[in-house]
Structure 1
């Protein structure tokens, strides 16, 4: 039996929590208790009473992401936008090490520019953008993928920031969603990777100026992503070990 067979998913939702605390009226209207609170509520709604969903923010000591917190996290959600450079390199390396050892990571919207995601991708993660409040259609390109389970084709988001290609990321292990916008752009909006023993999913819908994380289909995607990415085995660091000859025969 793995640890997950005996308990619910342990998820930590991290948000820089800067737009909300500096009083951006539109953001506060959409997320009065913070984006992290709404994402966490959606996970609790879909993952059930056995799930343990906590939150952490930038201004907490160690950004709320100590070794103890990460060791007790099956999947970490990451939302950032205007404070990427305020995240300490020490915490970045800590998160990356836990992903390599088996922790799942779900990166949201502008988190594509976070130090954590760029470190794991090894690219600039740059893209095209325009914030005119256009309609976004999120098309499923891998209907057999667990993250797409129960998701309509397409998800309709009435107003959202446009993200467009070229998106400078490595070739995904799996491309789950592709978005189109009224301006004609397309964007690889849901992509999955394996890094070390961990799974990483990037999902783009979720600009702070729109109530996207209240959208029932988006909440289902995030819960599916939590189930897919969550660690199912004990955390184990990958190391370069010296092996004697014929060690596998003993």
Structure 2
């Protein structure tokens, strides 16, 4: 039996590319397009990839789009506050019900990531063309498959500890920088039935999403984050009668 293609939606803020000439030169079609190309390049026919951006109606993340998305990737930076709370709540519900989520670079401060983490998700940073070495600390993890150790990024924004996130379920990568800083750059989490991968490399000022090994990590993350559950459903609270172990009834509340 053939496994259906992974339905991927690549979401991008798409503001720097429109407002800053040097970013437009690096990503003339937008970072979201470059990220989508990397997923197609690595997964081929195993993935069906679409893109959506902040300025689309409902940010391109309608109920219909999310229902048809197995894995959502998220890049935002300058306009986190412009993302609709209604859309964030919609994405949150889908993650809890089993949609995979990849949060990239400055998406650590997005409304959806901070909502899912329950912390400030703040960190230390510097943008001075640091070299980043991405070290694999969990070489048997599927996301690390085929990734060199270390993955070398010649120029990148520095992200450093302390990174205010909950302890990851799995730590796949840590990074070190020219200034001596270190950072938990590849972390996985589970929320409800959804799998989440945070991967930090990828600033708008540097061509990181053209890097073949960064593209491989993102594609591996997409493959990992896809749910193997037969249908999407949020965790449900059920009432079980005494002696009944297998089939509960939907709980309607204490006054019903």
In the TM superposition, residue 249 of structure 1 has moved relative to its aligned partner by 5.3
Please, which of 164, 186, 196 is the counterpart of residue 168 of structure 1? 164
Query: Who is 1:8 aligned against?
Result: 5
Q: 1:135 aligns with which of 126, 131, 137?
A: 131
1:35 maps to 31
Q: Give how far 1:246 is off.
A: 2.5
Q: Which residue of 2 aligns with 1:216?
A: 212
Cross-structure match for 1:96: 92
- Residues 129-184 of structure 1 show CA distances to partners (whole Å, capped at 9, x for unaligned) of 00001100000010011000110000000000000000000000000000000000
Q: TM-score, normalization: structure 2?
A: 0.94
Q: Give the Å deviation of 1:21.
A: 1.8
Q: CA deviation at 1:238?
A: 1.6
| Aligned with 1:78 (options 70, 74, 78) | 74
Which one of the candidate residues 18, 35, 39 is aligned to 1:21? 18
Give the unaligned 5+ runs of structure 1: none
Q: Deviations over 1:97-149 (max 9, x none)?
A: 10000000000000000000000000000000000011000000100110001
1:69-116: CA deviation from partner (whole Å, max 9, x where unpaired): 111111100000000000011111111110000000000000000000
Q: 1: distance between equivalents of 2:112 and 2:171?
A: 20
Q: How far apart, in 2, do the equivalents of 1:229 and 1:83 lie?
A: 26
Stretches of structure 2 that go unaligned for 5 or more consecutive residues are 248-256
- Where in structure 1 do 4 or more consecutive aligned residues deviate above 6 Å? none
2:225 aligned with 1:235: no
Q: Structure 2: how far apart are the matches of 1:247 and 1:224?
A: 41
**Given the alignment, which residue of 239, 245, 249 partners 1:248?**
245
**Which of the residues 103, 109, 127 maps onto 1:107?**
103
The alignment yields a C-alpha RMSD, in angstroms, of 1.1
Q: Specify the alignment match of 1:178 in structure 2.
A: 174
Higher RCO (CA 8 Å, separation ≥ 6 residues): 1
CA spacing shift, 1:249–1:48, aligned 2, 3 Å? closer
Q: Distance in 2 between matches of 1:33 and 1:225?
A: 23
Task: Provide the C-alpha distance between the structure 2 equivalents of 1:81 and 1:106, rounded to a whole number of angstroms.
Answer: 15
- Name whichever of 224-233 and 214-223 sits farther off: 224-233
Matching residue of 2:250? none
Structure 1 residues 203-232: Cα deviation after superposition (integer angstroms, max 9, x where no partner): 000000000000000000001000100122
Hey, what does 2:120 align to over in structure 1?
Answer: 124
- The TM-score normalised by the length of structure 1 is 0.96
- How many residues of Structure 1 are paired with residues of Structure 2 in the alignment? 246
